[in-house]
């Protein structure tokens, strides 16, 4: 997908009749692939994300818009207001507050908060209205391999098959609504339970979600132990089981992370070379 310029975004917003001629965009630094902006429309603030990574995410933006509307009703994400005609950018309500990354909390306090956020997410019911798809992780691996044009050795292919078997053996009782990209920066601190960036959300293994979050945040051993203990306290799940399951899922999360970045790097290389 070709990323739209700020000017083209403004032109579409104004022509939609949902926003005034006084719209202004201010780019927000950060984000590995997608560009983000703060939209000021008279006295109203919005958040705008311009998508460039559909090859990596492979989602239906219209379906995701509907899913986020449902999550917003549950108080779990910002309300989406507008999806561009080409599905190349989206406008959400602007959410005030500090992210968990920037909050004035100790490291352990942050990971206790993160554990509670994971529990909140995992307690969401995947109703017909939400309709999150099941995560087919082995298929995702193959998609990333195809995008990265990587050739696996026989040993690596055998390991991939073993991990695919581990994934397919997931206990149905462990399947939950999962975020799958829960960095500290994606969690808003305060009375709000808002979580950002649901692009990778799916009905999935709760322990993979936990492992992915630990990996993304580069959690220290102390912070990891704190999060797992807090998750156990809140859910009543035996701590030993959580540790065992998360340990297994760490390998799958690390593999997914590696293949994702290989694919993303290849996409960037192709873009810069074109």
Domain ranges of the chain: 6-93, 107-273
Cα–Cα dist 167/208, whole Å: 9
Question: Helix count (H) and strand count (E) of the chain?
Answer: 9, 7
What is the distance in angstroms between the CA of the first residue and the CA of the last residue of the chain?
Answer: 13
Cα–Cα dist 69/65, whole Å: 6
Q: Are 80 and 64 in contact (CB under 8 A)?
A: no
Other C-beta atoms lying within 10 Å of the C-beta of residue 228: 23
In the three-class reduction of DSSP (H, G, I as helix; E, B as strand; rest coil), residue 61 is classed as helix
Q: Are 20 and 73 in contact (CB under 8 A)?
A: no
Bridge-based pairing state of the strands 80-83 and 89-93 = antiparallel
51 versus 54: which is more confidently predicted?
51
Domain 6-93, CATH:
3.30.200.20
Domain 107-273, CATH:
3.90.1200.10
> If phi over 0 gives left and psi between -120 and 50 gives alpha, with beta otherwise, what is residue 198?
alpha
Q: Are 33 and 57 in contact (CB under 8 A)?
A: no
| DSSP secondary structure letter of residue 186 | G
Tokens of 267: 């996409």
Among 1-10, 129-138, 186-195, which is the least confidently predicted range? 1-10
Cα–Cα dist 95/98, whole Å: 9
Confidence of residue 86 (pLDDT cuts 50, 70, 90): confident
Q: Are 24 and 71 in contact (CB under 8 A)?
A: no
Confidence of residue 32 (pLDDT cuts 50, 70, 90): low
List CB contacts of 147: < 8 A, sequence separation 6 or more.
55, 56, 263, 266, 267
| DSSP secondary structure letter of residue 60 | -
Length in residues, the chain: 274
pTM attached to this predicted model? 0.91
pLDDT in tens, 140-162: 999 999 999 888 899 999 999 99
């Amino acid at each position: 997908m070709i990323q739209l310029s700020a000017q083209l975004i403004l032109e579409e917003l104004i022509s939609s009749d949902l926003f005034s001629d006084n719209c202004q965009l201010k780019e927000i630094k950060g984000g590995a692939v997608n560009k983000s902006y703060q939209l000021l429309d008279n006295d109203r603030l919005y958040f705008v994300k311009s998508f460039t990574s559909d090859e990596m995410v492979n989602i239906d933006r219209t379906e995701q818009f509907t899913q986020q509307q449902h999550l917003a009703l549950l108080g779990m994400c910002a309300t989406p207001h507008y999806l561009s005609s080409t599905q190349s950018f989206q406008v959400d309500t602007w959410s005030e507050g500090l992210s968990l990354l920037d909050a004035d909390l100790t490291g352990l306090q942050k990971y206790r908060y993160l554990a509670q956020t994971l529990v909140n997410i995992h307690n969401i019911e995947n109703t017909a209205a939400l309709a999150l798809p099941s995560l087919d992780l082995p298929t995702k691996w193959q998609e990333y391999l195809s995008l990265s044009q990587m050739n696996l050795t026989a040993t690596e292919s055998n390991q991939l098959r073993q991990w695919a078997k581990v994934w397919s053996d997931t206990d149905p009782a462990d399947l939950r609504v999962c975020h799958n990209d829960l960095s500290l920066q994606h969690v808003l601190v305060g009375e709000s339970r808002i979580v950002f960036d649901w692009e990778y959300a799916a009905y999935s293994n709760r322990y993979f979600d936990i492992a992915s979050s630990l990996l993304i945040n580069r959690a220290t051993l102390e912070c990891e132990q704190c999060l797992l203990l807090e998750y156990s306290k809140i859910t009543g799940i035996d701590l030993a089981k959580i540790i065992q399951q998360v340990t297994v899922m760490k390998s799958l999360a690390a593999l997914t992370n590696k293949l994702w970045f290989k694919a993303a790097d290849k996409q960037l290389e192709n873009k810069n070379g074109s």
